[in-house]
Structure 1
Amino acid sequence: MAKDDMDKQPDSVSSVLKVFGILQALGEEREHGITELSQRVMMSKSTVYRFLQTMKSLGYVSQEGESEKYALTMKLFELGAKALQNVDLIRSADIQMRELSRQTRETIHLGALEEDSIVYIHKIDSLYNLRMYSRIGRRNPLYSTAIGKVLLAWRDRHEAEEILSHVVFTPSTARTLTSKEALLSALDKVHSQGFGEDNEEQEEGLRCIAVPVFDRFGVVIAGLSLSFPTIRFSEEGKSGYVKMLHEAARRISEQMGYHSYPF
Structure 2
Amino acid sequence: MTKNAKQPDSVSSVLKVFGILQALGETRGIGVTELSQKVMTSKSTVYRFLQTMKSLGYVHQDGDSDKYSLTLKLFELGSMALQNVDLIRIADVHMRKLSEQTLETIHLGAHEEDSVVYIHKIDSRYSLGMQSRIGFRNPLASTALGKVMLAWLPEDDAETILRRATYKAYTKNSPRSADDVMPLLSQARENGYAEDFEEMEDGLCCIAVPLFDRFGKVIAGMSISLPVIRYDPARKQDIIQLLHDAARQISSELGCRDYPF
TM-score computed with the length of structure 2 as normaliser: 0.96
Matches within 5 A, 1:52-91: 52-91=50-89
RMSD: 1.4
Q: Which of 80, 103, 109 is equivalent to 2:101?
A: 103
Q: Which of 14, 21, 24 is equivalent to 1:23?
A: 21
How far is the alpha carbon of 1:81 from its aligned partner? 0.5
Q: Which of 3, 7, 11 is equivalent to 2:9?
A: 11
Q: Cα 1:101–1:6, aligned 2, differ >3 Å: closer, same or farther?
A: farther
Partners of 1:6 and 1:17 within 8 A in 2: no
Q: Which of 106, 112, 115 is equivalent to 1:114?
A: 112
Separation in structure 1 between the aligned mates of residue 207 and residue 154 of structure 2, nearest angstrom? 22
Letter in 1 for 2:203: G
Give a deviation string over 1:176-224, Cα, whole Å, max 9, x none: 1111122112111111111000111111111000001000110001101
Separation in structure 2 between the aligned mates of residue 262 and residue 5 of structure 1, nearest angstrom? 59
Matches within 5 A, 1:1-263: 8-263=6-261
What are structure 2's unaligned runs of at least 5 residues?
Answer: none
Partners of 1:143 and 1:149 within 8 A in 2: yes
Number of residue pairs matched by the alignment: 260
How far is the alpha carbon of 1:66 from its aligned partner? 3.2
Secondary structure, aligned partner of 1:32: coil
Secondary structure, aligned partner of 2:164: coil
How far is the alpha carbon of 1:32 from its aligned partner? 1.2
How far is the alpha carbon of 1:163 from its aligned partner? 3.0
Give a deviation string over 1:145-196, Cα, whole Å, max 9, x none: 0000000101111221233343212221111111112211211111111100
Partners of 1:7 and 1:14 within 8 A in 2: no
Separation in structure 1 between the aligned mates of residue 160 and residue 26 of structure 2, nearest angstrom? 37
Stretch moving more, 8-17 or 193-202: 8-17
Separation in structure 2 between the aligned mates of residue 194 and residue 175 of structure 1, nearest angstrom? 22
Partners of 2:209 and 2:244 within 8 A in 1: yes
How far is the alpha carbon of 1:14 from its aligned partner? 1.2
Stretch moving more, 172-181 or 19-28: 172-181
Q: Cα 1:5–1:249, aligned 2, differ >3 Å: closer, same or farther?
A: same
Partners of 2:163 and 2:177 within 8 A in 1: no
Separation in structure 2 between the aligned mates of residue 30 and residue 155 of structure 1, nearest angstrom? 36
Separation in structure 2 between the aligned mates of residue 7 and residue 40 of structure 1, nearest angstrom? 22
